Amino acid sequence: MTGTAHFYWASFVLLLHLPNTFGTPSLTSGPSCRCMPGDACWPSTQDWNQLNKTVEGRLMLNVPLAHVCHDPFYNQEECEYLKEQWILSPVHETSSTSVMAPWFQNASCDPFTPRQQPCELGNYPIYSINVSSAHDVAAGLSFAREMNIRLVVRNTGHDFLGKSAGKGALSLWTGNMKSIEVIKSYESTYYSGPALKMAAGVRGVDAYEAANANGLMVVGGSCPSVGLVGGYTQGGGHGMLSSSFGMGADQVLEWEVITAEGKRIVATPEENADLYWALSGGGGGAYGVALSMTARAHEDRKFSGAALSFSSAGITNDTFWEGFSAWQAYVPKVVDAGVNAGYQVTSSLFTIQVLTYPNATSTQTRTLLKPFTDTLERLGITYSLNVTSHSNYFDHFVYYLGPLPGGEYEVNSLVGGRLIPREAVSKSNEEIVNAIRFVAENTSAVMDFFAIKSHPDMAVAPNAVLPAWRSAVITSIYTMKWNFSVPRNVHLAQLDELNDIVIPRIDEVTPGSGAYLNEASFADETWKWDFYGVNYDELTQIKKKWDPNDVFYGPTMVGSDVWAVAGDGRLCRA
C-alpha cells in the first residue's frame, strides 16, 4: 500500500466514524452488548492487521458504494451513474456492503442526499472479508467470537429484511465464490441423477447458464441476480419451475458448512441431518455459513409461456374485478398442471407477466387457459394474450425475465407478503378478491403475485420449508415504492400504511396462513408464526446446538429475539 493510499483510507475512517462513535464510550457496552468503534473492547489496529494477515490480505475497510456522491470524494460522472442504477440490483450486488432495501440503507450514504452531507456507514458493516475459502470464513468467525463483535454474512445484498446489513459489524462477503461443478450423476440413497455443486456466491444467472450448457436446468429465483446458496435456498426459494419441481430448498442434496465454531462439515439428509433440515428452508444466515450447496438438476425440455392482460377500459370496475376473480379461482388448476405464473393487479390493469409451462406446446398453453379466457369473453372483457414456445428453459427465462445478468426488477421497495392457501381460494375467493381490491383502490401498495404449488413429496428429504407454503397456491407481495427525494416522515407513513392497513386486510382473509420469510415485512410482529410456523421451536433447538454463542444474528432470524438493537444501532442482549 502506498503512503497516499494509506492517507486516503485513514482520512476516510476518520470521516466515517469520528462524529458518531469515537470518544463516546457507551454505557451499554459490556459483555451483554457487541463492541462498537470507540469502545475499550473494540479491536486495536494491530488486531485487525493480524486478522488481515490470517486471511492473506482479504480484509477490507468498507467504503459505502455512494461515497462518490459526497464530499470530499464527489465524482459527478460516477455519482450520476449510481443515481440512474440505484433502483436496480447489479450495482448493489457487486459491492461488498450495499444492500438493496432502502429502509436499511437508511440514507446514510446514498446518491440522493446532498453532496455536502457526510457519507456515513450507518448499517453497513465496517469491515468485510472478501472470503474465498473455508479458512477465511473460519478466521472471520473466530475473530468475531473472540472480540465480541457483530457478524454479518453477506452475499448479494438482496435481503428485504435487513439480514445482510449490520451496524458496527464484520461481514463475511461470500459474493465472489462463484465456482460451479456440474455432476452428471450424483449417487446417494436419497437421489441419483444430475446435480450442480455451487459455491456460496453463485447467482441464479450463473447457475442457469451452467445448467443450460449441460442440457440441464435448476430451480432458482425470478430475479436472476438473487444468490442461490444464501438467503434464497436457505429461506425456501420459489421460482418458475417450482410447481413442477418443488422449491429451492427441496432441491438440496448437500450443504458444505462452516459452523459457528469454525469447523468445516457436510450436512445431508443422513449426516448432520438436523442442520440439513434447518438450512433447507429455516432462513438464511442463522445456523452456519454455507460454503457450497449441491442441488438437484433436471433434464432440460421445451417450454411454453404466456403473457396476458386486460384493463378496466370500456367495462365497469365490478366487471374488471370479476375478471380478476375468475383468474384467482382458476389458479389451483393452473398450478396443478405444474405451471407457475407471475402476475400483477392495479385498480385498472391486470397483467400476467409470465406463465411458465414445462414441456408443453403453445396449443397446450392455450388449452390450459381456455376455461379462464372463455370466462373473460363471457364477461365482455377484451384481453391481450401472447403465447410463446422455446426449446429450453434458459431461452424461456431470458425472454420473460431478462435481460441478463440483472433482470428488470426494481429494488426501491418496502415489502410485505402473505401466502394465500388453496383452501381460502376455494372457500372464500370473493373475500380475498375484495381485500385485494381494497388494497388496489384505497392504498398506494403495488401488488405482485406468484401462482405456485409445492408439496413435501417434491423434496429430496424432509426440510424446514414453512408448512404454509405447502398448502398455498399463491404467494403475494405488497410493495410501497420508495421515493428517495421525499422526507423521512413520508417513508414512516408508508411503513405504517403497509403494516397497519395493507397487510392486516390480507391477513384477515387468510387466517392461520403465513408469509414467505424472504418477501415479507421486517416489522411483522407475529414473525415467529408467520415465517416459521410449527417449525419454530425445533429450529430454535437446532440453532442453539450449532450456534451456542449466538454468533449469527439478523432481524427475524430464528433466535434473533435474544437480541435487541439499541437506539445507537448497537446489538445488545434483550
Ligand X SMILES: Cc1cc2nc3c(=O)[nH]c(=O)nc-3n(C[C@H](O)[C@H](O)[C@H](O)COP(=O)(O)OP(=O)(O)OC[C@H]3O[C@@H](n4cnc5c(N)ncnc54)[C@H](O)[C@@H]3O)c2cc1C
Q: Which of 166, 231, 282, 358 binds ligand X (CB under 6 A)?
A: 231
Q: Which of 70, 197, 238, 437 binds ligand NAG (CB under 6 A)?
A: 437
The answer to whether 237 contacts ligand X (rule: CB under 6 A) is yes
* Strand pairing category for 216-217 and 571-573: unpaired
| Interatomic CA distance for residues 524 and 520, integer angstroms | 8
Sign of the CA dihedral running 554, 87, 503, 333: negative
The gap from C-alpha 333 to its chain's centroid, in whole angstroms, comes to 28
Would you list the DSSP string of 245-297?
H--SGGGEEEEEEE-TTS-EEEE-SSSSHHHHHHHTTS-TTSS-EEEEEEEE-
Give residues with Cβ within 8 angstroms of 366, minimum separation 6: 385, 387
The answer to whether 559 contacts ligand X (rule: CB under 6 A) is no
The answer to whether 30 contacts ligand NAG (rule: CB under 6 A) is no
| Angle CA 47–48–54, to nearest 5 | 95
- Interaction mask 204-223, ligand X, x per CB under 6 A: -----------------xxx
For 250, phi then psi, to 5°, come to -70, -15
The answer to whether 572 contacts ligand NAG (rule: CB under 6 A) is no
The answer to whether 416 contacts ligand X (rule: CB under 6 A) is no
**Residue the block writes with cell 417450482:** 242
The answer to whether 2 contacts ligand NAG (rule: CB under 6 A) is no
| Interatomic CA distance for residues 481 and 102, integer angstroms | 10
The answer to whether 373 contacts ligand NAG (rule: CB under 6 A) is no
Q: In the complex, what is the shortest distance from the CB of residue 151 to ligand X, in angstroms, rounded to a whole number?
A: 9
Angle between helices 134-147 and 45-54 (to 10 degrees): 160
**Which residue's Cβ has the minimum distance to ligand NAG?**
57
25: left (phi over 0), alpha (psi -120 to 50) or beta: beta
235 close to 284: Cβ distance less than 8 angstroms: yes
Cell (9 digits) for 162? 435487513
60 burial type by CB count under 10 A (0-12 exposed, 13-18 middle, 19+ buried): middle
Residue type, 238: H
Q: In the complex, what is the shortest distance from the CB of residue 43 to ligand NAG, in angstroms, rounded to a whole number?
A: 11
Q: In the complex, what is the shortest distance from the CB of residue 464 to ligand NAG, in angstroms, rounded to a whole number?
A: 27
Q: In the complex, what is the shortest distance from the CB of residue 9 to ligand NAG, in angstroms, rounded to a whole number?
A: 7
Q: In the complex, what is the shortest distance from the CB of residue 159 to ligand X, in angstroms, rounded to a whole number?
A: 3
Q: Which is nearer to ligand NAG, 170 or 267 (CB)?
A: 170
The answer to whether 52 contacts ligand NAG (rule: CB under 6 A) is yes
Q: Which does 159 bind (CB under 5 to 8 A by kind): ligand X, ligand NAG, none?
A: ligand X
Q: Which is nearer to ligand X, 120 or 159 (CB)?
A: 159
The answer to whether 156 contacts ligand X (rule: CB under 6 A) is yes
227 close to 158: Cβ distance less than 8 angstroms: yes
| Interatomic CA distance for residues 426 and 95, integer angstroms | 45
Stretch that binds ligand X, among 149-157, 259-267, 416-424, 502-510 (CB under 6 A): 149-157
- Interaction mask 166-205, ligand NAG, x per CB under 6 A: ----------x-----------------------------
Q: Which of 17, 135, 264, 301 binds ligand NAG (CB under 6 A)?
A: 301
- Interaction mask 74-103, ligand NAG, x per CB under 6 A: -----------------------------x
362 close to 390: Cβ distance less than 8 angstroms: no
Q: Which does 388 bind (CB under 5 to 8 A by kind): ligand NAG, ligand X, none?
A: none
Q: Which is nearer to ligand X, 120 or 519 (CB)?
A: 519
Binding residues (CB under 6 A) for ligand NAG: these are 1, 52, 57, 59-61, 103-104, 106, 123, 130, 132, 176, 299, 301, 307-309, 317, 347-348, 359, 384, 386, 437-438, 441-442, 483, 485-486
